[in-house]
Chain A
Amino acid sequence: MNILTLVRQVPDAEARVKISGQSVDLDGATLVIDGMDEYGVEEALRLRESGAPVEQIIALAIGPKKVEDALRTSLAMGVDRAIHIETDEKFDAVTLSRAVAQVAQAENVTLILVGGQEADWDSQALGAASAERLGWPQLTWTNELKLDGDTLTGRHDVDDGNESFSATLPAVVTTQQGLNEPRYPTLPNIMKAKKKELRKDDPATYQLQGRVRTVNAEIQTRARLNKMIDGKDAQAAAQQLLELLRNEAKVIA
């Protein structure tokens, strides 16, 4: 079987986000592979290491030139080869799923792994939309996964708790915390990754037509009171805080 892992490149969580004009400006920001997608890359590797008949693990990214770095990271983690649909245009997740489905079909993939929520768009749509395009079932927010033959079992979060599930391939799985601890690429593997295939695909092949336009972006600056209370005298500080909660914030009686 072949596994496709989807990879996004996002600003490092500690990086400052800035806006220029009407949109987020990532110029000069430190960009990293999305931590949520990393769980997916790691899980693909672990499925193979646990003896599942995984022929190829392919990483796919769609985005500007610099997204190569995120693909290199996944290659250094152990992915076999990568595909980069290089485009500067920003597409919404439902539009992107069109390309994901085409690649999955062309590459004979039976399992797609993708992060549960992207750290740039805060979107959870890519996995589900890709599953629908392919006519596959999906398992979202998965934190435990096993593959036996073509049966997937595991556990995932739902509205009011979590569920154990069973489903047969092909399927889309969205990944999250608890599933695994992603490995760090070692120096030898980083060197080896340089020789692995990183194919460039022409976005025109996929005929993507975005449906969602961004018209404005603003940094959230909710004014906070920033009232500081000295904690040296615990009793006095506690008293003062309670009074603020009662009389100013009015949240306790």
Chain B
Amino acid sequence: MILIVAEHTAGKLAKATLEMVTAARESGREGPITLLVLGQNVAAVATEAAAVADQVLVADLPQLATYNAEVWAAATTQIAQEGEAHTVIIGGSRSGREYAPRVAVKLDAAYLEDATRLSSNGAALQAQRYTYLARVTETVEADGLVVVTVKPGSFAPAAPAGAAGEQYDVDLTLPAPRVQVTGKSVEKSSRVALTEADVIVTGGRGVGSPENFAKYVEGLADSIGAGVGATRAVVDAGWRPYAEQVGQTGKTVQPKAYIALGVSGAVQHLSGMGKSKNIIAINKDAEAPIFKVADYGIVGDVNEIVPALIEASRK
């Protein structure tokens, strides 16, 4: 069987889970698609999951109320072994890529990380993935038992398939978590989440100051209903929270349009946004590397162009 660990938040199945179902369907691997739902009070999630899977295994346990790498790895491994899964698919979220390697080691399986495409070639499962700060696309393959993480946003969300899958409750023997969480701060934003936004406006050091960032970057984002991103230079300078950082050490985004204001286009930044569908750059330096990856570029000063853009977009 193909085992997929469902991702869900606030009682709802995440889009990433539907993407993983598509990945499983496209993988060419055989057997029923099984969704594993780990959590507490997850009945609603399990029902949603049943619409896209052949079967759903539900572990509704107090020990699963919050994510922990060792606990998630133990749970996934146990179910994979009992169900004799040959393919285990886990989300390419921060947490997914944190516990998936543990599952691979426990199962003595090969690990294909952060796949953007899956296919079979005989006995081998082939995965495409980005490497070298997302400048290269490599195809890698492995035989036999394989654990795969799937990069969010790479597969179309699956549509329901015929009749709803059967749901089964499962019991698990879980280890006690050894990492204690002593505090948590959740990133809240009144705007669309960066990883979900269709349009993102990102500001770099070229916008000049935190005040200008609010005026131009947030101003333009609000006038066109976009999310707000920042470069590392801006985050390091303390102008913006780390939660907004896009790039190698920040978020990876893939919006329909990415509007970069005063952003130089360093490779570490490109690695987080280079797969955006349309890239729009405003920079006063015609030689700025960002223009090499831009679909539309304006050579000009953000102080002049952006107010004009905000003004014009309101008409």
Contacts and interface: CB of A to CB of B under 8 A. Distances in A.
The interface size bin for chain B is 35 or more
Interface string B73-98: 10000000000000000000111011
Nearest to A164: B183
Contact of B294 (A122, A125, A126, A224): A224
A237 B225 CA distance: 21
Interface in B184-215: 184-187, 198-199
A215 B126 CA distance: 9
Interface stretch (B26-34, B43-51, B161-169, B272-280): B272-280
A219 B295 contact: no
Contact of A94 (B104, B136, B284, B308): B104
A58 B293 CA distance: 41
Interface of A: 11, 13-14, 17, 19, 23-24, 36, 92-94, 97, 116-117, 119-126, 128-129, 131-133, 137-141, 153, 157-168, 176-178, 211-220, 222, 224-232, 234-235, 237-239, 241-242, 244-245, 249, 251-252
A215 B140 contact: yes
B179 A217 contact: no
Contacts of B185: 161-163
A166 B271 CA distance: 32
B111 to A, nearest CB: 4
Contact of A231 (B70, B126, B274, B305): B305
B308 A238 contact: yes
9 tightest Cβ-Cβ pairs between the two chains A and B: A231-B300, A238-B308, A164-B183, A211-B110, A251-B257, A129-B101, A128-B101, A132-B102, A225-B295
Given A120-B131, A129-B104, A249-B257, A228 B299 contact: yes
Given A137-B179, A161-B186, A249-B256, A93 B101 contact: yes
6 contacts: A163-B183, A213-B142, A227-B295, A231-B305, A234-B300, A241-B309
A138 B132 contact: no
B174 interface: no
Interface of B: 9, 67, 69-70, 73, 93-95, 97-102, 104-106, 109-114, 124, 126, 129-142, 178-187, 198-199, 224-225, 232, 242-243, 248-249, 256-257, 266-268, 271, 274-275, 277-280, 282, 284, 291-301, 304-305, 307-309, 311-313
B295 A224 contact: yes
Given A164-B181, A176-B249, A231-B282, A222 B275 contact: yes
A162 B135 contact: no
Nearest to A26: B132
Given A13-B268, A120-B132, A177-B232, A163 B141 contact: no
B296 A225 contact: yes
Contacts of B131: 24, 120-122, 217
A132 B106 contact: yes
A119 B133 contact: yes
B111 A249 contact: no
Given A132-B106, A227-B295, A252-B199, 19 more contacts: A94-B110, A94-B111, A117-B248, A122-B131, A122-B132, A123-B114, A131-B102, A158-B67, A163-B184, A165-B179, A176-B249, A215-B140, A217-B138, A219-B137, A229-B296, A229-B299, A237-B300, A238-B311, A249-B278
Nearest to B223: A252
Given A94-B111, A158-B95, A237 B137 contact: no
B134 A251 contact: no
A13 B133 contact: yes
B183 to A, nearest CB: 4
Contacts of B94: 140-141, 157-159
A239 B296 CA distance: 13
A23 B137 CA distance: 10
Contact of B135 (A212, A214, A220): A220
Contacts of A216: 138-139
| Among A97, A212, A214, A215: residue with most chain B CB under 10 A | A212
A160 B242 CA distance: 12
Given A159-B93, A228-B299, A94 B101 contact: yes
B242 to A, nearest CB: 7
A122 B106 contact: no
A237 B308 contact: yes
A46 B224 CA distance: 46
A98 to B, nearest CB: 9
B305 A237 contact: yes
A252 B225 CA distance: 9
B299 A93 contact: no
Nearest to B243: A161
Given A160-B187, A227-B296, A252-B199, A14 B180 contact: no
Contacts of A159: 67, 93-95
Contacts of A92: 110-111, 140
| Among A139, A214, A220, A232: residue with most chain B CB under 10 A | A220
Contacts of B313: 242, 252
